[in-house]
Structure formats: C-alpha cells, structure tokens
Amino acid sequence: KNEVEQSPQNLTAQEGEFITINCSYSVGISALHWLQQHPGGGIVSLFMLSSGKKKHGRLIATINIQEKHSSLHITASHPRDSAVYICAVRQETSGSRLTFGEGTQLTVNP
C-alpha cells in the first residue's frame, strides 16, 4: 500500500462543475503539498499546508491532520483546469524530502 493515496485516479467533468480530489496518507507529516502538472510536464506548486484550509482564486485546499486526509476543491471548473493534480507529503522524519501520490488526471470538457 502506498503511503500517499489519491482518488479518483481519473476525473472528467463539465465546465462549471464543482470538483473534489482526495488525498489520504498513512504517515506522520509536517506538511502536505498540492501540485499541478500540465501536459507539457512542468509542475507548479498550488498549496502547501499543515492545518486548516487555504484558498487561492477558485482553488481551495483543506487538511484534517487527525484523519490524515486532504482535499483539493475547484469551484466553477474550466477547461484550462485540465491537468494532473498531485498530492505530496513531507514526512516528519524526512526533512524536506517529499513522498508523492500517483496523481489525479482531471479533464474538464467545455
């Protein structure tokens, strides 16, 4: 079993829909990251959080440390949101090293 599990693996939505991507982890962490990878391969950091909730534009990330679970929400989804979304955790004992989930492929159709 992977230390970081994401669901779903693939998600197709219609433009305007509210989207949720989930991430569960089985280790103690100091921080959790949400990353976005576009078809060209480059990765952009969306959020880094260790508690509570963060919001940036139409993106919202939440984390529940007790339940070892995080969610990434996209409101009013748009075709340009189509990308792979990756959850990564910084384990308490690993300094700055990250452990990555397999990613969720999101496709938003017009």
Partner 1 sequence: DGGITQSPKYLFRKEGQNVTLSCEQNLNHDAMYWYRQDPGQGLRLIYYSQIVNDFQKGDIAEGYSVSREKKESFPLTVTSAQKNPTAFYLCASSINGGRAGNEQFFGPGTRLTVL
Question: Which residues are CB-contacts of 35 (< 8 A; sequence separation ≥ 6)?
Answer: 43, 44, 45, 46, 85, 86, 87, 88
Does 19 help bind partner 1 (rule: CB under 8 A)? no
Query: Per CB under 8 A, does 20 bind partner 1?
Result: no
Asked if residue 48 binds partner 1 (CB under 8 A), the reply is: yes
Q: With binding defined as CB under 8 A, does residue 61 bind partner 1?
A: no
Stretch that binds partner 1, among 16-24, 51-59, 60-68, 101-109 (CB under 8 A): 101-109
| Two tokens, residue 26 | 């089985």
* CB < 8 Å & 24+ apart, contacts of 52-55: none
Q: Which two tokens stand for residue 53?
A: 């909730």
Number of residues that bind partner 1 (CB under 8 A): 27
Name the residues that contact partner 1, by CB under 8 A: 2, 4, 30-31, 33, 35, 40-45, 48, 50, 86, 88, 90, 92, 95-103
